[in-house]
Structure 1
Amino acid sequence: MVNSEDVLVTSEDVLVTSEDVLVTSEDVLVTSEDVLVNSEDVLVTSEDVLVNSEDVLVNSEDVLVTSEDVLVTSEDVLVIVKMYSKNLRVNIFTSFQSQEWKTSRTRGWVKDFQLIQHYIDVLGEVT
């Protein structure tokens, strides 16, 4: 009978060298069934993403002009109204208006449309 108090093994008594351990490629097999990456395991933060200006190409179809980018003054409207016939002026207004409904970010254009329509109505009565 050997008691655990009678046995002492120290690190000096145990030596494992690289010659004692051999793992070959035949011993290791990882298949695609063993690897699963779930979307919950992947997190990309804005700090991980860097876009260089040389990497960016903007197509004209990707550009949205908002009402903040457009200023129509009463002088501009008078020039438009004087330059075109009444029917064409109404068509211009209609195309502006349809453009406004396509882009929800251009709600501010409604006031410009109302101003244009006002000048069209007034000048239509005068001409």
Structure 2
Amino acid sequence: MEKSLKEYLAAEPGTMDCPVRSVLDRIGDKWATLVLLVLDDVDALRFNEVHKAIGGISQKMLTVTLKTLEADGLVSRTMYPQIPPRVEYALTPRGRSLLPHIHGLVEWSKEHMREILASRAAYVA
């Protein structure tokens, strides 16, 4: 029998018993969603191209983020044996299947950001 959302959310943190937490932990960090969006409109990008497209991310954090997304099967890494070595990153079919949901969140954010900022200001005041 399928678990209810309440049962998933009540699962022990850090376990795979809650797919919602598990996925949000991965894509909800500061950079993962931006990396997925950068890779959305291209076949593949090299590391430096991804780095340049996302302002403010360090090379180390980009490396960690790409490895995490690769481990989850959302991004593929292809290394070409040439001098100098060439490595390209691309979305996998699983990564592409996540994009409509991310785009929905982007649209919702654009639509509601003004009100959210006003609420934050009112809360602080």
Kindly indicate which of the two structures has a greater share of residues assigned to strand: 2
- Same fold by TM (over 0.5)? no
TM-score (norm 2): 0.27
TM-score (norm 1): 0.27
